[in-house]
Chains A and B, each alone.
Chain A
Amino acid sequence: MKKRSVTDFLVIAACFLLLTPILSAHRVTDFMIFCIFVMSFDLMYGYMGRLSFGHMLFLGTGAYCSGLFIKYLTGNPFLAIPVGVLASGILAMVIGLIIVRTTGACFSLINLAFNQIGFFLVLSPLRGITRGEDGFGVRVASFGFLNFANPTFKFWFVLVCLLLIFYLLKRLTTSPYGILIRSIKEDETRVRFLGYNTFFYKWLTFVLAGGVGGLAGTLSALNYNFVNPNSMDVHSNVGVVFASLIGGAGNLYGALVGGVVYMVISNFLPIYIHRWEMFLGFSLLIIVFRFRKGMWGNIQDIGEYIRKRKGVGGPAAGEASKG
C-alpha cells in the first residue's frame, strides 16, 4: 500500500465520521451501503462503459439470499455475508454469459428485463418463502461485541467494508485489467484486435460488479433487519445511475461523492420540495447537457486550475479523471 492510498483511506473515513454527528449513525451507515452499491455500478458503467438499468437485481439477490439464509438456516451474519455475495456473483456468472454479448441499448434493456423477472419471481411465484410484498424480518445472532443490533458496531463494520471494497476496486482499476476494461469502453474492436479475449473481461467485470452489488444488498438486509421487494424494484435503478453521474462516472471518488450527495438529496429534499422527482429530472438534464464530468470532475478541474496558477502543475490529477 502506497502512502497516497493510506491518506485517501483516512480522508474517506474522516469524511464519513464527520457526517455522523450532523446526520445520525444509522443514516450514515445507510449512505455507506449505497456508496458501495454505486461503486459496483460505476465499475460497469464508468469504467467499462456499459450502462445497466437493472443493477438493483444484484442488490435484491444479495439481500434476499442472505436474508433467507439467516431466516431458515443459521443466524450467523458472518456466514450470511459470503452467501449473499456468492449468490449474486453466481447469478451474474450465469446471466452474464447472455448479457455481456450485447452492447449499448440492448445491454441496458436486457438488464432491465432480467431485473423485472427477478422482481416478479420474488413477488409472485416464490411468495411462499419470500412473503411477497410484505417482506420478512431478519434476526441475526450476536457474538460478544460483534453485535449487529448495535448501531455503532454496524457503522464501523460497514465502514470497514466500504474501505475494503474501495481498496479492492482501486487496485483493480489501476492494474492492467483496469486499463483493459477502460480500453473496451473506448473501442472494443481494437482491443480484440490486440489479441485479448474481450468477452471474458467483460464477463469478469459483470461478475465483479454483481458480487459487490450483492455485498451492498447483504449489508442493507443486516442494516434494516428487514428484506422486502423494494430492494429489487426496477424503478430504483434511476437512483444509482443518477448518483454515478452526479458524482462523475468512471471514478471511484466520484462514486463516493455521488452516493453521499444523492442520499442527502433523496433523504432531505422531499421534506422541503414536494415535487422532488421533477427536480431530479431537471438536474439530470442539466448534468447531461452541461456537466458531464460530474461533481468530482469539476472539483478536479478546479484543483488543476489552482495548481497551474501556482506553477507546480502535474498531470497526475488529470489522469484519474480521464477513466
Chain B
Amino acid sequence: MIYTILYGFTIGAILYFISIGLSLTFGTIRVINFAHTLTYTIGVYLLLTFIGYFKGFFFISGGLAVLVVIPLSYVIERFIIRRLYGESLDYTFIATFAVSLIGVDTIKWIWGVNPYPLSDPIGTYLAVWGLTFPLYRVLIVLVAVILFFALELFFKKTIVGKIVVAALEDKDGVRCLGINVDKYFAIVFILGSALAALGGVLYAPISSIHPYMGLSVLLLSFAVVIVGGMGSLRGTFVAAFALGMVMAITARYWSQGAETMVFIVMAIVLIFRPIDI
C-alpha cells in the first residue's frame, strides 16, 4: 500500500508539471491548447537524442532538452496561438489540434514510430524503516513540491508574476494600465511548455516512449485542469495529486481502469460544478 501511495504521488507530480501550463494558458488567453503536450513529447525525444551524445548523463541531457523546447514553444506561440486571441473556442481547438497533428507526424518522421525503452537514471533505492523506495520517484515528488513553492513565490513576489495573476482576474483592466499583456502571455505560454517538457523528461524513464504518448497524458491533464479549476494554481496542485492518487489506487485493484476512473471523477465534478467557458 505504501508503494501505491508513492506511485500515486509520482503520477500526481508528473500531472502537475504538465497541467500547470495548460491551466495558466487557459486562464489567461482562453485558448484550449491541444498542442500543449506536444512539447512534452518533443522534450522526451530530445532527451533520447542528447543521451546518445552525452553517453548517459541523464540530467544534463534532460536540462538541454527543456532548453531546446523553449524557442520551439515561442515559435508555436508567435505563429499560431497569438493569432487565436479572442477567437471562438472551436477554432482555437481545431488550430491547436492541427499543430499537434503536424508535430506528432514530424516526430514520426525524425525518430520513427517504434517505442524506445529508457532505464531508471539513478537506480539506487532509499531505505526508510525497512522499506525501500526508488530514489528517482522520491526525487520527482520533491521537484514537484519545490516547483509549487517556487511558482507561488514567482506569482506573489515578481512583477511578471503579479501582472499574470492580475491578468487572470481581469485582462482588460491590466491592458488599460498600459501594460503589453500579450508579451506576458507569451512568457506564460513558454513557461508552461517548458514545464511540460520537464514533466516529460522526468516521466520518460518510468513510462514507455512513443509518438502518441502526449495524447493520453493530455486528456488526463485536461481532467486535472477541470477538477482543479481553470487558471487556479493551487487548485491544479491539489487536483493533480488527488487524481494521481485515484489512478494509483485504481491501478492497484484494476489495472486497466485507471485512466477511465479519472474521467469518471471529471464527469462527476462537471455535473456538480459546470464551468461556463
Contact = CB atoms under 8 A, between A and B. Distances in A.
Interface of A: 45, 49, 51, 53, 98, 101-106, 108-110, 112-114, 116-117, 120, 123-125, 235, 238, 241, 245, 275, 277-278, 280-282, 284-285, 288-289, 292
Interface string B95-129: 10111111011101100000000000000000000
B260 A120 contact: yes
Contacts, number: 111
B197 interface: no
16 contacts: A101-B271, A104-B89, A106-B277, A117-B260, A117-B264, A125-B257, A238-B97, A238-B101, A277-B101, A277-B105, A277-B108, A280-B101, A281-B98, A284-B94, A284-B97, A285-B99
Contact of A120 (B98, B106, B256): B256
B105 A275 contact: yes
Contacts of B276: 102-104
Interface stretch (B39-47, B132-140, B218-226): B218-226
Nearest to B263: A113
Contacts of B260: 116-117, 120
The 10 lowest CB-CB distance pairs between A and B, nearest first, are A281-B101, A284-B98, A281-B102, A113-B263, A278-B105, A277-B105, A281-B98, A51-B90, A124-B256, A104-B89
Contact of A288 (B98, B102, B275): B98
A113 B102 contact: no
A110 B267 contact: yes
Contacts of A278: 101-102, 105-106, 109
Nearest to A285: B98
Contacts of A235: 215
B5 interface: no
Interface residue SS majority, chain A: helix
Nearest to A108: B93
A106 B109 CA distance: 33
Contacts of B256: 120, 123-125
B85 interface: no
Contacts of A49: 90
A51 B275 CA distance: 16
A50 to B, nearest CB: 9
Contact of A277 (B104, B215, B222): B104
A242 B208 CA distance: 30
A271 to B, nearest CB: 17
Contact of A109 (B80, B94, B222): B222
Given A106-B270, A124-B256, A285-B80, 13 more contacts: A98-B271, A104-B89, A105-B26, A105-B32, A106-B275, A106-B277, A108-B93, A113-B219, A116-B263, A124-B257, A245-B94, A281-B101, A285-B99
A123 B100 CA distance: 26
A97 to B, nearest CB: 9
A235 to B, nearest CB: 7
Nearest to A112: B219
Nearest to A288: B95
A281 B105 contact: yes
Nearest to B264: A117
A284 B109 CA distance: 20
Interface string B233-277: 000000000000000000000001101100110110011001111
A108 B89 CA distance: 10
A113 B223 contact: yes
A51 to B, nearest CB: 4
Nearest to B91: A288
B255 to A, nearest CB: 10
Contacts of A101: 270-271, 274
A106 B271 CA distance: 11
A282 B109 CA distance: 16
B83 interface: yes
Interface in B61-109: 80, 83, 89-91, 93-95, 97-102, 104-106, 108-109
